[in-house]
Amino acid sequence: MLNISRILTAFAVLISLTVAPNPSLAGETDALTDLLKQIDKQICTSPKKLMNFYDKEMVIISDDKRILPENRIKDYEMMIAELQGMKCNNTRTVLSGNADKTFGYLLVDELISVSSLHSTDERQHSVCTYVFSKDSGQWKIKQEHCSSLPDYSIVPGDDALYYFHNPVY
């Protein structure tokens, strides 16, 4: 048990060094992170507007599945219809990124939380790569690839879906 504690402590220190704000990235990636924030505002209110943020040749990969933007929008609309008093909260930490005049990318650690009046808080913790291209002067997402991570902030007694959120238990 002592070795696991040491490993987790070392891992936490390394992650905090990686996640620490990097002022050199700020100017280059602000427009890209702002675009993701605009998308976050639309997900729980008007998902059809999401198509305005995607390149026409958009590719979404979530874990090992390819998802069409149209199907993702339908999923969001179903979620809105089913969950009363739904609240969405997206927390992102930019791990790396770069942008030039026509191309950009972000590597982010993100935690998405959806709660409603009559359901358990559902969280998805992922590491995602977003690739952006400029189309008529506007940044658009061209490719999104997210890999799920276990959410270690959830403990067995707090959430009935603990083993779903944490496949490595």
* Strand ordering across the sheet containing 65-67: 65-67, 54-62, 138-149, 119-135, 103-116, 87-99
What are the sequence ranges of the domains in the chain?
23-150
pLDDT score for 145: 93
pLDDT tens readout for residues 34-84: 999 998 888 888 888 888 889 888 888 888 888 888 888 888 888 777 777
Q: Nearest Cα to 59, choosing from 50, 69, 49? A: 69
Confidence of residue 1 (pLDDT cuts 50, 70, 90): very low
Query: CATH number of the domain at 23-150, please?
Result: 3.10.450.50
**pLDDT(97) > 70:** yes
pLDDT > 50? residue 12: no
How many C-beta neighbours within 10 Å does residue 90 have?
17
**Least confident stretch, 13-17, 96-100, 131-135:** 13-17
Q: pLDDT higher for 120 or 94?
A: 94
Please provide the size of the chain in residues: 169
Token pair of 66, please?
């390819």
Query: pLDDT at residue 24 above 90?
Result: no
pLDDT at site 62: 86
Residues with Cβ within 8 Å of residue 53, at least 6 apart in sequence: 35, 38, 39, 42, 140, 141
Specify the pLDDT at position 80: 76
User: What is d(CA 92, CA 121) in angstroms, rounded to the nearest whole number?
Assistant: 18
Please write the tens of the pLDDT for every residue from 73-94: 888 888 777 777 778 888 899 9
